[in-house]
Amino acid sequence: MKTIEKIQLDGIDVNLEISLLEYGIAWFKTANEITFIYSTGIDENCDCSNFCLSSFDLKTNVKEEFDFVDWQSFCGFAGIDESNIQKMPIEQVIPSLVMHEGTQNIFGTIYCEGLTFDELKEKYSI
pLDDT tier, 4 (very low <50, low <70, confident <90, very high otherwise): very low
The 3-state DSSP class for residue 60 equals: coil
pLDDT tier, 1 (very low <50, low <70, confident <90, very high otherwise): very low
pLDDT of 3 strictly over 60: no
Q: How many CA atoms lie within 13 A of 11 on its CB side?
A: 20
C-alpha separations of 17 from 11, 27, 107, 124 in Å: 9, 12, 21, 12
CA distance 86 to 109: 25
Report the mean per-residue pLDDT for the chain. 89
pTM exceeding the 0.75 threshold for the entire prediction: yes
What does the pLDDT average to over 56-78?
94
Identify which of 55, 49, 52 has the alpha carbon closest to the alpha carbon of residue 30. 55
